[in-house]
Each structure stands twice: as C-alpha cells, then as structure tokens.
Structure 1
C-alpha cells in the first residue's frame, strides 16, 4: 500500500475517532445544559405555582404552566384534585415531601429514571383508579384523564422533578386530619427532556453528516500533504536509481528548499555520493598505480630471463637480478594485500612501545643504520597488535634512513591522553604542501631516485592505516630544533579498569 494511502487512512480514522468523540461530547453537553436550564425554569415555575395555590380561592383542576405537576402532602399522598388524596407505593422514595421546617424559598430537584418507576406501573394504576371519581360525568372523566397523564409522565420517561413548598388556606384544606395552618403541600413540576431532546435533535443531522465529511477532508489533506512531502524523496530515489555505474557518481540529488528531514536526507545522500566518488577515484588511481608498480618488476624480470637465455655466460648475474625483481614484486604484493584488508584487529594485548623501539634500534644498529634514542620513559604501554606496531615503526625508520643525511632520532614522550612516538631525520625538510601528500599510496617526491632504493611508495600509507586501526594518528611536520622532517605517531593510553 502506498505511503500516501496509509497516511490518509490513518489520518481519516484518527479524525473520525476524534470528531466522533467531540460530537458525542457536544451532544451530551448541549443536552445537559438544556436540562439544567429547563430545571431552573421549572424551579421558578414551581415557586410561582406554590404562591398561586397558597393565595387562590380554589384549586386548579387542570394543568397550569409549562410542565405538569404532582402535589404531595406531608404524609406522602398524591392529590389528583381537591379532596382526593391517593397513597401510591414507593412515591415517598421517588418524590419525598418537604421537611417540616422547610421555608417558602425551599426547593428540591430530583432525577426520576424510567427504570425506577417502571416496576410500579401496575400498582399505581390500580391504586389511582380506585380512588378517582367514577361515572360518565365530564368532570369525573377529565379528572381521571388528568391523573392518568400525570402517572404516565412518571412511569415511562427519564424526568427531572423540581419541588416547592406551600401551605393551603384553612378554607381549602379538605383533609380533616390536618390541623389549622398545617395543611401543607409539596408541589413537584415534572420536567421531561423534550426541550433537551429537541436541542440535540437539531444537532444530530449536521453532526452525522459533518463527522464523516470532516474525516474525509482530513484524509484528503493528509493524502495531498504526504504526496507533496514525498515528492523530494521520489526525486532523490529516481536520481540515485539512475546512478548505475561508477562513471555516474558525479551526479547529485536535488536538495529541497525547506529545512527539514528530507533536506537532511538529500544532503546526507549527496555527502555519501561525494565519498563514493572519492573512493572510486582513489580506487582507479590505486589500480593504475598498482598496475604500474607491478609492471616494472615484471618487465625487469622478463628482460633478465631473456638475457640469461641469450647469454648463458651471464646466467649468474641474471639470476641475482631476477631474484631482486622477484623480491620487489613480493614486497609490493604484500603491501597491496595489506592495504586491501578491511578487517580491524581486536586490540586486546598490551604492548610496550619502549620495548619495540629498543628492539628496532638494536636491529638497525647491526645493519649499519644507527638510530639515536632520545628521551624515553621507563615504559609506554598501549593497547594494540605488537606485529602491526613493529611494522609501523619499521616503515617510519626505513623512510627516515632513506632521507636522512647523517642522523635518525627516535623519541617517546608522554602526552595528556597517551604517547607520542617521533622519528626525525635530518635530511631535506618536506615542503608544506607535501606534509600530507606523503601518506598517499605510491607517492614519491624524488622520482629520479631508483625504485629499488626509494621503496614501493606504500610504507607511509600502511603506517598511517595501522595508526588509524589503533585509534591513533600519524602526522608529518618540520617543527623540530634541528632541520629535517619529523613523523609523530600518537597512540591513546590504556584506560584504567573501572
């Protein structure tokens, strides 16, 4: 599945969930707010009814005001009409009468759920019918209809009942059990959720249509945005895909204007292509130089064998020359094989640089190539491979003897975070532009020199490679009290175990 499609589907689903939750919350909030407003109005209406009933000459037979009402005396009996009081089971639990000490400003709000009243339906109908006037007179029929409607309001819907307290005048108190001034009633105005339902009903249609539409808009926006965002990625992919050969490594991917991660990806890709181009160029130069270096001893060997065949009397000299060419060919091949290695040795052993320096100085002294030892510590431990460090220092000493006039100096000094091993020759100092170039492969700054004397041109390259494999550095400089060139190897010290 394309990335644009995944982004659009996920964004659409997330938007649908969020918008649905928001719509549900909005609907519930509007419903609750409308119920609170209607309950507040019902409280006002209940106090108005209480004031009217307390001062009127006669009781209202029909419903008054906005919502139907239920009148209850202090005994918990409902009064469908003047002179008619009915005891309904469980009514005191649902709508209790006002407490005896309730004042004229007293009010109460009760939530009545259909689940609580549905079980009382049969008993309430039976109790109410037996207490109401019978007969076909219009007044009796109206009273029965009114009472039934009130009970139906209580039995089949979730309602809010808002109560107020009043006291009937003595002349209207039809209950002989009530003493004068004690004919008190609690009136409950029943507030059905009609207004709240109507308010949320007006929201249902736009919400039901708006949530899917909004989710589709978000999904489409995500599709378009992702597609536009991925255009630079596609351009990068297409450009990289067109690079099928090392001759195409000069090409670069387009870099977007926006400073974001895609721009960082493009810049990183171009940096990688730069490294690949440089590596390919180094490889081409290396192959060309290696071919040239190998061709010279092979040509010499071929010529010397031809001379031996043509002039048997010079066979011994020809064989000696062939051996020299073969030895040079072997050394060049060994160096090439070493530089072609990609593995890094595990630096587990602890090597004493002072011991290696003394060994090589002793060896070169027996060969007639003395090495002057400078300041040395008692020991200079470093972690590494002893054979490779021997080879590194040997290459530095060989190079120093080839260029020295009369003196090669070897010193080891402690550094802030390791050891500095320096090899100085008193020959002609290197030019500033050659201090780094001498470490390139097959580099010879004195081309007129014979190749057997000048070496293969790989010694310093191998030495720097060994230094890097040991997490060190190898540099050349001419900053020394005596004239000449100094090669300094820096190796990190052994870290103390925790």
Structure 2
C-alpha cells in the first residue's frame, strides 16, 4: 500500500514518524532528567532543613513539628522507637526498618537520605490521619488553627506518594530527655524530614505544555523538510523524465538529458540514460542505412526483372532468353531476401552440438571442385571438433569461399590448423589485396568496393546460397555474405578477420573458433 504513495509523501511520512518517536523519547528523557534534578535539589534543601531542625531541637526546650521547616518530620531515638511527643508519630508498619536511627559514631554533620515508595503508604491513610490529630495543638488560638490546617494539608501530600526522607542527628538537652532508658547526655535523636516530590512534579508540569505542543510541531517541521528536500532532490529525475518523454514524442534521438553537476546516483542515471540514447541513435542510424541499402540492392534486380519482362512482351521471339535472365534476377532477389531475413532474425540460442570443422571444409572443397572452382587444401588435421551449429558453420565457410573465388586470380587455398584452445580456418585468394582501410569495412552490411562496382559484381562478398555457387562469379554477391559470416562467428564465440601479407598477393580471411573435445 505504501508503495503507491508518491515518493515525497512517503519520505515525509517516514521522516515525520521517525522524528515523532525520537522527539517523544527525548521529551520523556527531559522530563525524567528535570524531575530527578529537582528532586535531588529538594533533597539537598531538606538536608539543610534537617540539620537546622536538629540544631534547634538541641538548644530549645519545646518542640513541634510544624513550627520549623517546610516538611513534616519524624524523630527516632537510638533504639528505633518513634517519639509521639516530638512530632508526627505515625506507627507505620516497617517504619522502624525504613527509617533507622543514626549510627553511634555519626558526627554533627551526618545526614542520610532514604526513599519510601508509594506502596508503603498506600492503605495507611486512615491510620496516619487518626494518629495525626492527637499530635496537633488543640487550642482555639488562630495560630494553632493555622498549624492544624497546614499539618493536615502536608500530611495529605505524603499519602500515596513516593517520599524522600532526609535525616540529621542531634542530642536533646537533659531537661527534655524524659526517657528513663536514656542516660544524661546520651539522649540522642534522629530527625527525618519527609519530602514529597511536589517541587519535582511542578517543575515537570511546566514542561508538559511546551513538550505537548513542541513534539508534534517539531515532527511536522521534519516531515515538511523531508517533503521539500525530497521534492528538490527529485527535480533532476523529473527533468530526465520530461526530456525522455519529449524525445519519445518528437523521435529526435540527437537530444540528450541534462546531467547534474553533483556526482550522485541521479547523475549516474542521467549518464546511463544518455548512453542508452546514444545506442538508440546508433541503432536507428544503422537501421536507416540498412533500409536504404536494402532498398538500393533490391532496386537493381527488380529493375532488371522489369526490363526483361518488357523485352519479353516486346519481342516474343526472345522469350526464352528473357525468361532465363528473369530467373537470374529473381534468384538474386531470393538470395538478398534470405540474407536480410537471417540478419534480422534474433538468435540467442547457445550452440550445443559438436561438429567437425575439418569434415565441413572437406565437403565444401569437394563440392566446389565439382562446379569447376577448385579449392587447394592446405594443412588439415584428421578432425577439428568444435561446439556449434553445423548448418551455420557450413554457411560461414561457403560465404568465405564464394568471396574468395570472386576475387581470386588463379587459386583459392583453404587450411584448418590448431591454435591455443581452438582452431584457425583460413581462406586465401591470390587476387588483388584489400587496401588497409577496407580490411574492416568489408564486413559491414552492403559494403561494395569501387572495384566491385566497376565489375558489376554487386559487392565483394557472396550470398552463401548452394544453388548459386556455380554462377556466383558472374552474378556477384548481395553485399551481405561477409557480414553474415562474421555474425555467425560471433554467435559461436569466435572471430573473423581479414589481413594481407605483402608482398604476397591476395587477401586471407581467418576464422578463430574455440575447440571442444569430440564426443566418444
């Protein structure tokens, strides 16, 4: 489903979701960090307050929890007992374990911080409230009423909360030491201030509103930035698409798409597109030349055929000669058509059969000898196995021999010899050698050298048709024989080249084919 969404929207959506997750996690971390820092700061203030309370209690003869400081306090003697007369003496279960007295060797600046979880105070609210009232002043004095209101409010703040208890130690004056178990001067107490996380909660509360608005806004900004950035990044791609579409509509293959300056994948895409357009332009140009050359080659035999038919109609007494000439013209048309069909036929089939190149060469030499065009055989192995299509290789060698006979002065030589990992098949004619600039040009389709045109042979190469072998010298070639021969060589993973050996006369065409082991 997401694949159907435009790239810009998909990038913006994913970036926005990722930003929302990251910013939410960051907001939670910030809240926790601020909460912990504020709680630690409050605990430090409570420690100062605890030491202040301890100093006050050690020097005064009266005590009340709500006369000093901001937080309720609990006072414990060295035996762990809570002293109700000294403050909020709530007998919480396990309170003596949670709030132990100071160690005997504690110094005057000793402090301790104890965490009390909400689970410890949950369910004890009624007991706490019941034991709070007797500890409060009961007079009608407005000051006492204020103390009672503050006490109840502060105690309610302690219920169902995670508390921090901060302790300090002091020694009571002898006149206030009423416990018989305490020796004079040894009436030590530990005072705990119970600190709720109100300040930390308030600090976090100030962040909640900005964070609730800021996280979505930041995620939206990231999504918008991703949308704009992706859209701008895809502009070169859109330019490439628009240019290709325009080229397609106008069929103007000379144009190219713009290449961005940045060396990135879009630049690679543009360069690849231009390379493809280059290949298309070259293919279109080859096709245009091919059609033009084919039209030119077909026009000559068609014109000759038309002329012969006109002669037959005008001179019935020459009908036999006219029909004979017309047959030659139609035969050439057939050969040209066959060659064009072969070159136009896609053939990606991998040759699988094992054929004997020496046997094919012997057969063709024997056949040409019967038609009065002898072929001199050079060095020959007993067998030359190669993997390929026997009919195509037969056609390849026939085209080479037809071409050689067309240009030979006295003799054509055919040799088969081994070379590293393959076979060399050479066809040499002793006629006029090719010019250096023509050694590659002769393999192009419809290539006809000036000398061949002057002799009206229609090209340097033959058509490769079996029943035209006897009159190939007179009729000329289709201009496709060597092109077909090289195409067959390439399909068999081989090469076909032409070269001369000065001062030796003539031209040699050499076929290189990879060898294979013959089947047993």
For this structure pair, what is the TM-score category when the shorter chain's length is used for normalisation?
A: 0.7 to 0.9
Q: 2:171 and 2:499 mapped to 1: Cα distance?
A: 114
Query: Match for residue 11 of structure 2?
Result: 7
Q: 1:285 to 1:117 in 2, by over 3 A?
A: same
1:374-405 Cα deviation digits (max 9, x unpaired): 55566544433222222222222222332333
Is 1:412 the equivalent of 2:434? no
Q: 1:186 and 1:219 mapped to 2: Cα distance?
A: 58
Unaligned runs of 5+ in 1: none
Residue 338 of structure 1 aligns to a residue whose secondary structure is helix
Please identify, of 480-489 and 277-286, the stretch whose mean Cα deviation from structure 2 is larger.
480-489
**Structure 2 matches for 1:39-188, cutoff 5 A?**
39-47=43-51, 49-50=53-54, 53-54=57-58, 58-59=62-63, 61-65=65-69, 67-74=71-78, 76-82=80-86, 85-92=89-96, 95-98=98-101, 103-104=106-107, 107-129=111-133, 132=135, 135-136=138-139, 138=141, 148-149=152-153, 151-178=155-182, 183-188=187-192
CA contact (8 A) 1:112 1:154 kept: no
Q: 1:374 to 1:192 in 2, by over 3 A?
A: farther
Q: From 378, 397, 400, give the equivalent of 1:393.
A: 397
Q: From 500, 505, 510, give the equivalent of 1:478.
A: 500
Q: 2:440 and 2:454 mapped to 1: Cα distance?
A: 21
Q: From 429, 444, 454, give the equivalent of 1:425.
A: 429
Q: 1:97 to 1:398 in 2, by over 3 A?
A: same
Q: 1:81 and 1:472 mapped to 2: Cα distance?
A: 112
Q: CA deviation at 1:336?
A: 0.7
Q: CA deviation at 1:77?
A: 4.2
CA contact (8 A) 1:425 1:486 kept: yes
Q: 1:483 to 1:164 in 2, by over 3 A?
A: farther
Residue 62 of structure 1 aligns to a residue whose secondary structure is helix
Query: Match for residue 383 of structure 1?
Result: 387
Q: CA deviation at 1:10?
A: 3.2
Query: Match for residue 23 of structure 1?
Result: 27
CA contact (8 A) 2:76 2:101 kept: no
Q: CA deviation at 1:456?
A: 0.3
* TM-score normalised by structure 2 residue count: 0.82
Q: From 386, 399, 406, give the equivalent of 1:402.
A: 406
Count of matched residue positions in the alignment of Structure 1 and Structure 2: 492
Q: 1:398 to 1:181 in 2, by over 3 A?
A: farther
Q: From 447, 450, 453, give the equivalent of 2:453.
A: 447
Q: 1:193 to 1:477 in 2, by over 3 A?
A: farther
* TM-score normalised by structure 1 residue count: 0.85
1:389-447 Cα deviation digits (max 9, x unpaired): 222222222223323333434333323x6544443433333223222222211111122
Q: CA deviation at 1:350?
A: 2.9
Q: From 462, 466, 470, give the equivalent of 2:488.
A: 466
Q: 2:255 and 2:138 mapped to 1: Cα distance?
A: 106
Residue 83 of structure 2 aligns to a residue whose secondary structure is strand
Q: CA deviation at 1:373?
A: 4.5
Residue 511 of structure 2 aligns to a residue whose secondary structure is strand
Q: 2:289 and 2:448 mapped to 1: Cα distance?
A: 14
Q: CA deviation at 1:281?
A: 1.7
Query: Match for residue 299 of structure 1?
Result: 303
Q: 1:468 to 1:30 in 2, by over 3 A?
A: farther
Is 1:221 the equivalent of 2:225? yes
Is 1:252 the equivalent of 2:256? yes
Residue 66 of structure 2 aligns to a residue whose secondary structure is coil
Q: From 286, 295, 298, give the equivalent of 1:282.
A: 286
CA contact (8 A) 2:75 2:86 kept: no
Q: 1:86 to 1:203 in 2, by over 3 A?
A: closer
Q: 1:482 and 1:81 mapped to 2: Cα distance?
A: 134
Unaligned runs of 5+ in 2: 459-473
Q: CA deviation at 1:348?
A: 2.5
Q: 1:246 and 1:399 mapped to 2: Cα distance?
A: 43
Q: 2:503 and 2:50 mapped to 1: Cα distance?
A: 111
Q: 1:80 and 1:141 mapped to 2: Cα distance?
A: 20
Q: 1:51 and 1:186 mapped to 2: Cα distance?
A: 12
Q: From 199, 212, 216, give the equivalent of 1:208.
A: 212
CA contact (8 A) 1:73 1:97 kept: no
Please identify, of 297-306 and 322-331, the stretch whose mean Cα deviation from structure 2 is larger.
297-306
Q: 1:175 and 1:358 mapped to 2: Cα distance?
A: 134
Q: 2:34 and 2:10 mapped to 1: Cα distance?
A: 36
CA contact (8 A) 2:65 2:72 kept: no
